[in-house]
Amino acid sequence: MVNTNKQSQLDKITSFLKNSSSFALIKFEKTTHTSLESLRKQLKKNDSKLMVIKNTILQKAINIISSSKESSHLRDLQKQTRNLKENTGLLGFGKDWSLGMNTFFAFSKADKTVGFKVGVLDKQTYGEESLLRIAQLPSRGELVGKLLGGMKSPTSHFVHALKFNMQKFVYILNARAKQTN
């Protein structure tokens, strides 16, 4: 007889994985409940969420989903999650996964008991090292801001250079006018 609680967890995880194109599996060992709750609050601000799950239920959910054609991108994840050992959390991202990744990375620098295991970003599977490198990158909003700032900077310098000679000329004329008075 199937435990209804485990079946509902399996259904919840299966539907989450089907509907999400970006998520990560994290490990946490000897992490206090209060620190996990503070991580959840920080992630919630960035439209991300954290679920603590059992490894066997996760593996069953991935096996169910990866057999369908529309979720074939999870076959790589299925291979990498065959031998999960430590406690596992499912980190689900919103539309902009970079914000959630940056938040988790900042938390993992402060609390060394948490870290990445494996993740799927935009239907592409990444390992632990790749996720760490991706998490260190600036978010999309920051990159757009830097790009626009870089494009605006030469124009503003050019305008300032054009104004500079006129302003200098006006100062010279004002100084001359004061001398004659």
Domain locations along the chain = 4-137, 141-181
Q: Quote the mean pLDDT of the chain.
A: 85
Q: Has residue 93 got a pLDDT over 70?
A: yes
**Across 1-14, average pLDDT:** 83
Q: Are 123 and 73 within 8 A, CB to CB?
A: yes
Q: What confidence score (pLDDT) does residue 1 get?
A: 45
Question: How does residue 148 score in pLDDT terms, banded at 50, 70 and 90?
Answer: confident
Kindly tell me if the per-residue pLDDT of 7 is higher than 80.
Answer: yes
Q: What is the mean pLDDT of residues 77-81?
A: 81
Mean pLDDT of 91-109: 89
Fold exhibited by the domain 4-137: Alpha-Beta Plaits (3.30.70)
Look at residue 73 in the predicted model and tell me its pLDDT.
Answer: 73
Mean pLDDT, range 81-93, rounded to an integer: 86
